[in-house]
Amino acid sequence: MKILVHLPRTLGASLLAFPCLKSLEQNFPAAEIFILPPDNYADFFENLSPGYQVVRLPEFKDIAGLKRASARLRKMDFDLGLLLDESFASALLFYLARIPQRWGYDREGRGFMLTKRSRLRATDPQLHLKQHYLQLLARLGLQAADRPLRVDLPERFRDLAAGRLKQSGLDPELPTVALKPGSRFGQARIWPLSRQRELIGRILESKRQVALIGSEASQETSQALMAELDGRVADFCGRLSLEETAGIIAGSKVFLGNDCGLTHLANLLGIPVVGLYGPTDPHISGPAQPPSVVLQKPAPCAPCSYKTCPYDHRCLDNISAGEVYEVLSSFLAG
């Protein structure tokens, strides 16, 4: 039996789907399980999840591209397609590929293309994304086991990261705090620079070092931080591959970040996570398993979807450097 799982569109959501993949594997122990990740993360998932075969499809933006992609899937002769991506396009892809069994949530009017579906009602409670994917299996009559899950990173990525630390002047043997300072989403998810500077100063005073990590979207924030910092701090934002970034995280004592894919990556790698959640709801997208702590201050307007806060940003501004350092210290002491 060959099963293809269409993962969600983002890195974080795809990582939160890993417990669902594990449960699927336990339900069909003799099956070959393939995953269709977001196109720009195909290489990374191939390295991160060696137990699942990665399917690569060219990105399609029109009917002709969709037909080419579905024709490629058709040749692979899958028996079952599980849609964790909830778009109309993903269901249409599996439908045109003539995958005999197509299972998923009935969203965006795509139910007629599914052979087995579960419909969500407006009155259904909103679950954490990990539970949301597991619930789909349960609603389809399968066993859905919610157990702690850890993924091991290939040693070569840890070695690459150690080399990067040395090149930047940091010592791979010293305790490192991996800190994601910015956000692709927007300013609303970024903890104030003054708080970040104060926290980094405290970390350096405690004889530890800091690695700033993230994509190019974090560069403006990281560069502003580096302009007023001196000491054992290295700015890797926008300068590393995702594999190298994962290696930095895997070699760190603790990860500090916001609502982002790297937060869930650190959590899946078993690294202690401190998540600073402001406009988004950690009960839906927070770290899914221990060791992790979420800090968030109440705000009457939260959760929200603003990229820039139109008010006083109290949900993040009211988190002090002292309380973040206290939580970090509890992990660093271990």
Do residues 280 and 208 both lie within one domain?
yes
What's 258's domain CATH number?
3.40.50.2000
**What's the pLDDT at 231?**
87
Do residues 164 and 28 both lie within one domain?
no
Note whether residue 30 is domain-resident. yes
Note whether residue 29 is domain-resident. yes
Do residues 46 and 126 both lie within one domain?
yes
Residue range of the domain that includes 129: 2-139
**What's the pLDDT at 60?**
84
Q: Amino acid letter at 292?
A: S
Do residues 48 and 164 both lie within one domain?
no
Of 108, 139, 170, the residue at which a domain comes to its end is 139
Q: Helix axis angle, 321-332 relative to 193-205, nearest 10°?
A: 40
Q: 149: helix, coil or strand?
A: coil
Do residues 105 and 212 both lie within one domain?
no
Tens digit of pLDDT for each residue in 223-280?
A: 999 999 988 999 999 999 999 999 999 999 999 999 999 999 999 999 999 999 999 9
Average pLDDT value over all residues in the chain = 95
Q: How many CB atoms lie within 10 A of CB 40?
A: 10
Do residues 127 and 201 both lie within one domain?
no
Note whether residue 217 is domain-resident. yes
Residues facing 234 on adjacent strands: 211
Note whether residue 207 is domain-resident. yes
Q: CB-based contacts of 63: which residues, under 8 Å, 6+ apart?
A: none
What's the average pLDDT block by block, 10 residues per block, for the chain (334 residues)? Answer: 97 97 96 94 88 90 92 97 97 98 97 97 94 98 93 93 96 96 96 97 96 97 94 96 97 97 97 97 97 96 94 96 98 86
Pairing of strands 273-276, 209-212: unpaired
Note whether residue 144 is domain-resident. no
Do residues 91 and 170 both lie within one domain?
no
Do residues 35 and 96 both lie within one domain?
yes
Of 76, 106, 139, the residue at which a domain comes to its end is 139
Note whether residue 22 is domain-resident. yes
Do residues 19 and 122 both lie within one domain?
yes
Note whether residue 184 is domain-resident. yes
Q: CB-based contacts of 84: which residues, under 8 Å, 6+ apart?
A: 5, 6, 7, 8, 17, 20, 104, 133, 136
Sheet strands (E) in 51-205: 53-54, 80-83, 101-105, 116-118, 176-179
Angle at alpha carbon of residue 98, lines to 93 and 103, rounded to 5°:
70
Q: Is the dihedral of CA 136, 285, 274, 211 positive or negative?
A: positive
Do residues 199 and 103 both lie within one domain?
no
The rounded distance, in Å, linking the Cα atoms of 32 and 22 is 13
Count of domains forming the chain: 2
Note whether residue 131 is domain-resident. yes
**What's the pLDDT at 334?**
67
Do residues 119 and 171 both lie within one domain?
no
Do residues 120 and 168 both lie within one domain?
no
Identify which of 186, 211, 210 has the alpha carbon closest to the alpha carbon of residue 313.
Answer: 186
